[in-house]
Amino acid sequence: MLKGTAVSAGVAQGTAYVLSCGYRAAVPQRSIRPSEIDGERMRLDSAVARAEAELSALQDDLREKIGATQADIFGAQRLILGDASLRDRVLHTVQEKRINVEAAVSEVFEDYTQNLETAADGYLRGRAADIRDVGRRLLSSLATGPSSARAEIPAGAIVVADELLPSVTARLQLDNVRAFVTVRGNKFSHSSILARSLGTPAVAGVPSALAQIKTGDRLIVDAVAGVVFVNPESSIEREYDRLAADLKSSKEQLRHLVDLSTVTLDGTTLPLLANVNKFSDTEAALLNKADGIGLYRTEFTFSIRSTFPTEDDQFEYLERAAERMHPRKMVFRLVDLGGDKILPYFPLPPSRNPSLAERGIRLLLRHVDLLKTQLRAFLRVSAGHPVSILLPVVVGIEDVRQVRVVVRQVQDELSAEGKRFDAAVPIGAMIEVPSAALMIRNLAKEVDFLSLGTNDLVQYVLAADREDETTAPYYQPLHPAVLRLIESVVEGARSAGRELTICGEMAGDPLHTALLLGLGLRELSVAPGQMLEVKDAIRQTRLDEARRLASVALELGSAAEVEALLNQNRPARSGHPASVGPAATRP
C-alpha cells in the first residue's frame, strides 16, 4: 500500500499506465530488449538535435523581440542540452535498467534537478528550473520525433506519472482514464482541479509511485483515504468493490436534489453556478440544473492545440456552450497563462518562481494581439447570449483600465466590419491576489462584477506555492488571515453594489459552505460534480447560525482550530457515506 494525498475524491480499480511527461507531451514508460539499446541511443541523439534547433530558434526570436539578455536564457539551456555527461547518464540508465529513453531522461533529469534544489549555493539552486525545463523539452522532442512512443491511453487505465501539467493532461484521452496517481502535486494544483472537474479520482504526493508501479500492474486507487494498492489481494479487491457500490449509492441518494431549489433553511434562495473547462462540461452543468456558468476557464481550448486557436475556433466552441446554456448567464474568463500553465507554441522565459512571474492579464496586455483575438470571439458570442468577460490575476485598477481601452478598440473594429455584439457586455475582475483584495473598494468602481478566486489568493496571502509539495502544509484555505481577507472583500463588494461570486475550490467543499455564507457570500460557483453536495449543505444551513459560526471562526488563531469548529458544527449530509473503506482505518 502506497500513501499519498487524496486530491479528487473517489475510488477506482484498473490497470496502471506509467507515463513520463514533458512540458507538452506524455510518453509511456516501457521495458526494452538488449537489441533495442542502439535504437534508443539513436533516438536520443536525434531528439537532442531537434531540441537544440528549437532552442536556437527561440533564442534568435527572443533576441529580436526583447533583447540579448533575455535571449541568453535559451543559450544557457542549449549548453545544458549539449552536456556530454548528462547524455552518458541517460544512456547508462537505458542500458542498466533496460527502459526506453523517455523513462531514462525523466529519471536522470529529475535526479539532477533534485540535487540542485538542495544545493547550498544559491546560484546552483537557481539552475534547477533550467534543468527541469530542458528535460521536459527533450521529452517533448522524443514524443514528436520519428519512432516516437506516443501515449495512447487504453480504456480503463490508471495513469501514473511524476507530475501532470495542465497542458499535458488536456492532451490525454481523458475519457479512458479511471484515476490519476502522481509523485508530485497537491490538492490545489491545477491538475488536481482538472481531475475534480472531470470527476476522476486522483491521489498525489506518492513518492515511490514510479519505483513501485509498472505498466500493467493492477491498482486500486482510494482517493478518499489517499492510498494506492499495487496488485492487491482478492479480499481487498472485494472490499473496494463494496466501497465503490456504497459511494455510487451515496451519489444517487443526492440525485433527488437536482430538481429542488438552492434555498437555505430560513428561506433565502441562492444562485448555484458551475465552473467548466470545455463545452462538454456544460452538459454536466445542465444535468445538475446549474443556474449558469460562473467560470468558464478557456485554457483547455489552447492546451489541446499546437498553435493558437483562431478567433473563429474560439467563437465556435463558446457559441455552442452559450447556446446550450441560454438563457442562463455565462462568465468567460480570458485565458490565464503563466505559472504552471504553459504552451509549447508560446514560450515564456524560465522563472525561479513561476507563480510570481508574469501571468494572467499582465501577460495578455503584453501580447495584445492574443488578447484582441479572444475578446473578438467573446464579444461576438455576446450578440445573442448573456455573456460576461472576466479578467484573470488582476492586480489593480490600471489592469482594468488598460483592458477597457482594448475592448473599445475591438468593439470599434467589429462595428466597422458589421459584426454584432453587446455594447454593454459586463467586465469583471478576479480577486485572487492580496493587492486586489485590499483595494477592493476602488477596484469595484472600475468593474461590473467580481469573482473571488481563492485558489491563488490563499497561496499569495500565505506565501505557499500551491504547485510546490514542500509548502503544501502551509497552504491553508481556512487560515484566519484568509477568512478575514474574504470578509473584507465581501464587505467592499457589498458597499459598492457589485455582484460577487466565489469560484475557487473553497466553494466546492461542503464543509466550508456554512462558513462562506456566514462571511456574507451569496453566489457560489463550483465544479458540476460538486454541485449536489454543496446544494445539500446550503439547504441545511440557517443564515443567522452561519453568521454566528463565521464570527467565532474569525476570532480563532489557526486553520486547524477553524477546521475543528466546522467539523463540530457540520450537519449530517444526505447520502454521506459512514465509512470511507478499509484503508481509512489502517495505521
Asked if 17 and 218 count as a contact pair (C-beta separation under 8 A), the reply is no
**Is 190 in the active site?**
yes
Q: Name the residue among 505, 498, 449 with its Cα closest to residue 482.
A: 505
Q: Which helix (H) or strand (E) holds 297?
A: strand 292-297
Q: Is 456 helix (H, G, I), strand (E, B) or coil?
A: helix
Residue 348: name the closest of 356, 337, 335 by CA. 337
> Is 21 one of the catalytic residues?
no
Nearest CA-CA partner of 388 in 434, 354, 349, 429: 429
Q: State the catalytic residue, choosing from 21, 190, 385, 512.
A: 190
Q: What is the DSSP letter of 269?
A: B
Angle in degrees, CA 423, 428, 429, rounded to 5: 150
CA pair distance 356, 464, nearest whole angstrom: 11
Q: 21, 479, 503, 512: which one is catalytic?
A: 503
Neighbours of 64 (CB within 10 A): 10
Residue with cell 513501485: 212
From the list 529, 573, 544, the residue with the least C-alpha distance to 196 is 529
- HSE-CB of 274 using CA atoms within 13 angstroms: 31
The alpha helices in 84-216, defined as continuous H runs, are 84-97, 101-117, 122-126, 128-144, 166-169, 190-198, 209-212
Torsion 556-557-561-566 (CA) sign = positive
* CA neighbor of 402 nearest in space, from 446, 450, 345: 446
Annotated active-site positions, please? 190, 503
